[in-house]
Amino acid sequence: MYSIDYKVTVSDINYGGHMGNERALLLFQQARIDLFKSLDVSEIDTGEGVGVIQTDAHVYYKGEGFIGDTLKISIVDIEMKKISLNFKYEVLNQKGFKILEGSTLILAYNYNLKKIGRFSEVFLNRLRETIN
């Protein structure tokens, strides 16, 4: 599991007085970006010129987030294949209540060639070590 903390700010709040529904994917992406950064890679280059491109996402809303809340965003699992990573997430508020869960499917993508690529074994092994 890999986790980061996030403080809900005014820009996260919608007209209903709680965190907007569109923020879920931004929170998931931030956890992914931080994970990749901890591995000295990025979403544009995970190694050998291969980045990532998101092809699918699912969000399940379990509760509300409010301004000032400190959220724990966790990548709880990653199903790894040579060309895809299926990330599973959960987001808890400071009371430990799950407010979001979901997943994103990302593919290995070579931005220079504009086509699907393959993740390097080095990257996949480092990712496994970090999550497990």
Residue 17: the pLDDT is: 86
Contact 91, 69 (CB under 8 A): no
DSSP 33-99: HHHHHHTT--SS-SSTT-EEEEEEEEEEE-S---TTPEEEEEEEEEEE-SSEEEEEEEEE-TTS-EE
Over residues 47-71, the pLDDT tens digits come to: 999 999 999 999 999 999 999 999 9
**What percent of the chain lies above the pLDDT cut of 90?**
89
Concatenate the DSSP letters of all residues of 86-128 into one string.
EEEEEEE-TTS-EEEEEEEEEEEEETTTTEE----HHHHHHHH
The number of beta carbons lying within 10 Å of the beta carbon of residue 26 is 11
As a whole number of angstroms, the distance between CA 44 and CA 52 comes to 6
- Domains, the chain, with CATH or none: 2-131 (3.10.129.10)
* Per-residue pLDDT reduced to its tens digit, 13-52: 989 888 888 999 999 999 999 999 999 999 999 999 999 9
Task: Calculate mean pLDDT across residues 74-89.
Answer: 97
Prediction pTM value: 0.93
Is the confidence at residue 132, as pLDDT, over 90? Answer: no
Both tokens assigned to 90: 């959960």
